[in-house]
Structure 1
């Protein structure tokens, strides 16, 4: 089989069965979740920077902003784990 056709299927000469090569989900940088996480995290930090913390202590400070960014990041990591839960790693010929 030529190198250009190896990505679609591999041929096993011992039993003449063509197998499809499975690939994982898209990389994180190619997903919309990554860009949404980036925008939301930036928006949280910008909101904390421009919001006055006030004398009454009810503003939106840096500590609270970073806590929200941590929560959003954890949610993003969990969503990526769920997205990859049903996929298989790349198939190899060493079965």
Structure 2
């Protein structure tokens, strides 16, 4: 749930930040940067899940 909330927060931030058309510098937080942060979140989530699964010694067929 936290991963989904973080991705939604990145998307909302990308939509809201930079809507001001007065500045000539362009969008400070555009779609390309939002995608980059979503990829970072995804890789971090997959690594965390992999480490959690690798750290568990119990197997389903173990009778203990």
Please report the TM-score for the alignment, with normalisation by the length of structure 2: 0.78
Equivalent residue pairs, number: 59
Bigger helix share: 2
Deviations 1:39-84 (A, max 9, x none): 0110001000011164213510011001100000100000000111
Bigger strand share: 1
Matching residue of 2:28: 59
- The within-5 A match list for 1:26-65 is 35-52=1-18, 54-57=23-26, 59-65=28-34
Please list every run of 5 or more consecutive structure 2 residues that lacks an aligned counterpart in the other structure.
none
Please list every run of 5 or more consecutive structure 1 residues that lacks an aligned counterpart in the other structure.
1-34
Greater gyration radius: 1
Cα RMSD, aligned residues only: 2.0
